[in-house]
Homo-oligomer: A and B are copies of this chain.
Amino acid sequence: MQPINERYFEDYPVGESFEYGPISVTEEDIVRFAAEYDPQAKHVDREKARSGVFKGLIASGWHSVSLVMRVLVDNYFSAVADIASPGADEIRWPNPLRPGDRLHVRVTVLEARPSRSKLDRGIISSLVRALNQNGEPVVSFKVVSLVLRRQR
């Protein structure tokens, strides 16, 4: 693909996948995110987490999505043509994200269609999946982006 500073709607090839990462997260980061946004014991309290369902601290699901988002902003979304995202769908957290895990992110371009109402842009739909170092899926979602077309 074009570098993110020269990437437009036309540069997203439907059906292709791209891989990024690995991402890693520390226990300190897990607790810091969760203390602010998701202070459930399994995310912030090491002792309670140890005796809980997951046998140890796990990241907030919104933290894992945010960590993946950072990789996408650095590598996948256009830095010059991305207008906004109207939404995301089918977020799944099939396995926990634990301190020290390494996430590999794979993004697939599901759909790219020109907007019918606004000729300057198109709609990109992407499937995002992150697997840990054991190949287990940790988080996945679909996200829609409005992206400017290249001016001709």
Q: Assess whether A135 is interfacial by the CB under 8 Å rule.
A: no
Q: How many chain A residues touch the partner (CB < 8 A)? A: 34
A interface, CB within 8 angstroms of B: 36-42, 53-54, 60-62, 65-67, 69-70, 73-74, 77, 79, 82-94
Cβ contact within 8 Å between A70 and B40? no
Name the residue in A41, A86, A91 with the highest tally of chain B Cβ atoms < 10 Å from its Cβ. A91
Cβ–Cβ < 8 Å partners of A88 in chain B: 61, 91
Assess A85 versus B93: contact at CB under 8 Å? Given A65-B62, A66-B62, A73-B40. yes
Q: Which residue of B lies closest to A140 (CB)?
A: B87
Assess A39 versus B92: contact at CB under 8 Å? Given A53-B84, A83-B53. no
